[in-house]
Amino acid sequence: MKSNLPRRHSLRLPDYDYAHPGGYFVTIVTQKHICLFGEVVGDTVLLNGLGLITEECWQLIPEHFPNIESGAYVVMPNHLHGIIFIKETVGATHASPHWHQFKG
């Protein structure tokens, strides 16, 4: 299906290792931009249950990833903007970890 939306180019620096310490602005968008997290009423975002879960998960990032601090964020009806701070090199790769690494 062809989209009428403008084609966006990546803002990532081609040779930069994003696993290095620093502050990073992230945006997470729902599939097909569906408003899963709430709605805008007037000039206020009213989060629904999924929106509140999303907000809680953002706030809990440092508990799951000790090398990460979560900064300012905003949950919108179909996306989240936030800043994360990597405190030290995390050894990330471009591959997903194997499932057996998560089993206790």
Q: Give residue 15's pLDDT.
A: 84
H-run or E-run covering 85: strand 79-86
8 Å CB contact between 37 and 75? yes
Residue 32 dihedral angles phi and psi, to the nearest 5°: 60, 20
Residues of the chain with pLDDT under 70: 1-2, 90-104
Amino acid identity of residue 1, one-letter, is M
CA dihedral 35, 39, 45, 48 (to 10 degrees): -80
